A and B are shown apart, each in its own frame.
Chain A
């Protein structure tokens, strides 16, 4: 079946760049997504990339897609304490909606 894999934790210093990686198995995905979840809250869509693109930039966020290797990454420039959250990678396009990874906890060190 479809699978999305992410590391569970990432620790970075405030002001550095964070890079969160994700691999997926469904080659038919039309879009790939990054969601952010703060404690006790729902998921908020951060950004998404169409499968025929290899890069998308949106302010501090850069998404890179390597379709051949089925690898997706999210880079957050100048990481701030407010970026501390769980980040979910997801792929979609099927009738049952999105398939989510287990989420990466981003920990910011002062």
Chain B
């Protein structure tokens, strides 16, 4: 079935460690996005990529890094520089502008212990 898959669903990280969240899509979408969701904050854009081997910073990119080596994959690394990483992370994909809609994964809940 076509869709967008995030893994793992739950992730625990010790302070000072980097962790990588996986996002894979088989919808043949050019564009992929990472959002962070905190209670009462809605969705905030971390990074986005409109095409393979290219990506742009969103509104809250500090402490995060991404790569887009393949069309299907857009992994997000939460680095030790991110001071408050505990959050729900959502990956989405869609067609390039003019966008029609974004398809979301089921999310990864990251907790720093």
Point out residues on A near B: beta carbons under 8 Å: 8, 30-31, 33, 35, 40-45, 48, 88, 90, 92-98, 100-103
Q: Give min CB distance, A5 to chain B, whole Å.
A: 10
Q: Are B101 and A101 in contact (CB under 8 A)?
A: no
Q: Are A42 and B104 in contact (CB under 8 A)?
A: yes
- Binding site of A, secondary structure by majority: helix, strand, loop or mixed? strand
Question: Complex Cα distance A92/B92, Å?
Answer: 14
> Contacts A42-B90, A42-B106, A42-B107; is A96 near B45 (CB within 8 Å)?
yes
Sorted from nearest, which 10 A-B pairs have the closest CB atoms?
A102-B42, A42-B104, A100-B43, A43-B104, A92-B99, A42-B106, A30-B98, A97-B33, A42-B107, A93-B98
- Binding site of B, secondary structure by majority: helix, strand, loop or mixed? strand
> Contacts A30-B98, A31-B100, A102-B41; is A96 near B106 (CB within 8 Å)?
no
